[in-house]
Amino acid sequence: MGYSRKDKRGCDIFLYRRHIGGLVAWHWALAFWWDDDYIDTYEGDKEGSYLRLNWYEVEPDSDYDWKEWGRYRCNDCSPAKVTRTAKGLPCIDSPYNVYCNNCQDFAKSLARKFGVTSLPPGINKVVRTTLTLGLDNILLDH
């Protein structure tokens, strides 16, 4: 008998990132690989002027060059709880801001809700060069 989306079980949480265009910037996503081999991927994406939730029942799109940047374990959660939590994050459906309300803020917030307390070295002080705005070395840590 299979699990329902409401059933609690364990999963590995993967933090993925990929380059955005030719910039020195990264787009982040979290993938939850459930013990029953199902996968859910969550991303915060800019849509218009808002940060919106994208959720897929597959691993991150292989058309992009995703790099695994961290792996964590959660032993007691459910896909339904993760989805509900992601939808309820204050950053979702709020105005997008490249400095303080973006895909990285979303991924860090969601990861922390499921016990990820120690992110990879350097993740809280990501230096980005935002050429389109003409600003160099913007610290995203806040």
Tens digit of each residue's pLDDT (9 = 90 or more) over 20-72: 776 667 788 899 999 998 999 999 999 999 999 999 887 766 666 667 778 89
pLDDT grade, residue 78 (50/70/90)?
Answer: very high
pTM, 2 dp: 0.78
> What does the radius of gyration of the chain's CA atoms come to, in whole angstroms?
15
Considering the chain, what percentage of its residues have pLDDT values greater than 70?
Answer: 75
- Between 120 and 92, whose confidence is greater? 92
Strands of the 67-77 sheet, one edge to the other: 50-56, 39-47, 26-34, 9-19, 67-77
Question: Residue 31 is inside which H or E element, if any?
Answer: strand 26-34
Pairing of strands 50-56, 39-47: antiparallel
